[in-house]
Homo-oligomer: A and B are copies of this chain.
Amino acid sequence: MEVVEKAKQARLASLRLSKLSGEERNSALLAVAEEIERKGRWILEENRKDVEEAEALLERGEITKPVLQRLKLSEDKLADIVRMVRSVAALPDPLGKTVYAMEMDEGLEVYRVTCPIGVICCIFEARPDVLPQISSLSLKSGNAIILKGGREAKHSNRAFFRIFREKTEELGVPAGWIQMVEERWEVRELLGLEEYIDLIIPRGSRDLVKYIQQNTRIPVLGHAEGICHVYVDEHADIEKAVKICFDAKVQYPAVCNAAETLLVHSKVAGEFLPRIAELYRRAGVEIRGCPRTREIIADAVEATEEDWRTEYLDLIISVKVVDSIDEAIEHINTYGSKHTDAIVTEDRRNAMRFVTEVDSSSVMVNASTRFSDGYRYGLGAEVGISTGKIHARGPVGLEGLTTTKYIVVGNGHVVADYLGPKAKPFKHRRIDHDWREALKP
């Protein structure tokens, strides 16, 4: 089928999806979970084909070992996927929630109510667990989905896609709500289909995300990179600073919320830097420092301008000594990626200034940047992390896959009565019941 035809079908299905109740969407998800359990063996066989092909690619040096690792499914991982699908079914329904309710006049009420966005397109890397996750979140939130996974996971993706499509359609979910494309050129075509696609969620490398952001007019939810900072203030508790800076860099350096740069106030640099340098040295972290850092840490490499703009995703950190919180904030707002930045301080006024003036999606006081995550924030499920300012920002939960509509319920009301010399006034009294009350039989 043509790409545009798939997108059209997704659009049509998305309109029909609005008819399903929360229970119907949940039953379909539970049926999918059961089917994944039932067909576990077959899924693992399909995954085995991907792994074998990837092993050949690895030998020829065309992919890296981590790619191969991420590709492999096991019985344990499959059980995790089944649990994940069931946990999405168990989440509260994100649709039909009243977020604003106002009596405009006697018998005339307006409600703002959450509803699906429409058609989501998700472009993701070669990991077999992404397809079941994003498909579950889409169905839960009443959205149609177009999937494009990494080619290396082709067989695994096809297996999950087939189970999702067949089981959900059997349970009455509108045919065509889930679509898949496999070729890279098809992505380029998708990027031009703003008539049929409402939102693109790219998950993967910085280059992939940047390519998508620069080649579509469809809104993109995501982040290209995480250049996260920890600022050790002059009023920092040095014990906490050492703990946090170690965790933020070393605990899992390959992820977007790991720290890439430390900014250290000159008044505490002499005490703090030798201590963190010793821990970093033992953990194998390379330090790239500004001249003042290198006066304290003799074996630090010289940091260049480029270092302040670099997301290492590795055991490397850049360190700069600053003379004020203003300099730290300015550095972050200049070189950061608006992802996650932290201050270590016992001074509440400086903490307040930092969280207000740093223009990032997550700002932290005395905590590791690594906490920036939808699950840890208690959102229930994470759709992705957005560094854009429009729609959803920071770790995005199910709510990010919804929008709202206004529902007005009257009794023959016309605007003419509220205009002119004999105009009736509006009451504008907040009400606190659910919108469904207004349409109760």
Contact = CB atoms under 8 A, between A and B. Distances in A.
Interface of A: 15, 18-19, 102, 104, 108, 110, 112, 115, 117-118, 198-199, 213-214, 216-217, 219, 237, 239-240, 243-244, 246-248, 251-252, 333, 342, 348-349, 351-353, 355-357, 359-368, 370-372, 376-378, 388-391, 393-395, 403-416, 418-419, 426, 428, 436, 439-441
A164 to B, nearest CB: 23
B239 A412 contact: yes
A362 B406 contact: yes
A356 to B, nearest CB: 5
A400 B232 CA distance: 35
A419 to B, nearest CB: 8
A404 B393 contact: yes
Nearest to A435: B355
Contact of A371 (B246, B395, B413): B413
A108 B361 contact: no
Contact of A389 (B353, B367, B377, B403): B403
Given A366-B410, A367-B410, A367-B414, 11 more contacts: A18-B359, A102-B377, A104-B376, A198-B389, A219-B219, A342-B408, A355-B405, A361-B406, A371-B408, A390-B390, A393-B403
Given A355-B439, A361-B405, A389-B117, A413 B213 contact: no
A116 to B, nearest CB: 9
Contact of A108 (B216, B367, B409): B367
B414 A370 contact: yes
